[in-house]
Amino acid sequence: MKTCTRCKKPYPDELFIGAKGGEVKLCMYCREKDGERKRQYYAANREKVRERKRRYYAANREKLSASQRQYRKANREKHSERKRQYRAANREKVRERKRRYYAANREKIIMSNQRNTEERRKHQANADMEALFPGMLAAQITSNPQ
Ligand SMILES: [Zn+2]
């Protein structure tokens, strides 16, 4: 049994367990009432709440975007670190997954590789041409816009 700090009534422990299983000082009924009050307040003051938020963002745009940037950066680093660790710990699994992906998408992968090679070859040919006959390609393009 525990005593609620607001209504001062004793209730069994399970009425004090929060969403994350942490320590809660209010009984379930008081917490429900709190939530209901918040909902009602928000419903009655929707415009006011929105306007306050909007003004807060406008006034703190610089600060907020800076902290958002930092948050994103910190998380990107954390994220890539996690990925790296995962790969290191699951080297075999990752390799197997790649192998299976390749087996299932062989045609597609080969096609796309071929396309890339062709593109590269075309670029290389253009570059070679440009090296041999400087300005010729540009002249061709301007005289033949298609
Ligand atoms: Zn209570």
Domain spans of the chain, in order of start? 1-47, 60-104, 107-143
- pTM for this predicted structure: 0.34
pLDDT confidence of 21, banded at 50, 70, 90? Answer: low
Cα of 9 vs centre of ligand 1, distance in Å, is: 6
Cα of 43 vs centre of ligand 1, distance in Å, is: 24
Whether the per-residue pLDDT at 26 is higher than 70: the answer is yes
Mean pLDDT across 103-131: 87
Cα of 3 vs centre of ligand 1, distance in Å, is: 8
pLDDT confidence of 133, banded at 50, 70, 90? Answer: confident
Q: How far apart are CA 120 and CA 109, in angstroms?
A: 16
8 Å CB contact between 4 and 25? yes
Cα of 45 vs centre of ligand 1, distance in Å, is: 26
**Is 11 in a helix, a strand, or coil?**
strand
- pLDDT tens digits, one per residue of 96-108: 999 999 999 999 9
Place of tokens 């390749």: 102
Whether the per-residue pLDDT at 145 is higher than 80: the answer is no
- pLDDT tens digits, one per residue of 66-85: 888 888 888 888 888 888 99
Residues contacting residue 29 through CB under 8 Å, at least 6 positions apart: 4, 7, 15
Whether the per-residue pLDDT at 51 is higher than 90: the answer is yes
Mean pLDDT across 123-142: 74
Cα of 13 vs centre of ligand 1, distance in Å, is: 12
Cα of 1 vs centre of ligand 1, distance in Å, is: 13
Cα of 27 vs centre of ligand 1, distance in Å, is: 4
Mean pLDDT of the chain: 86
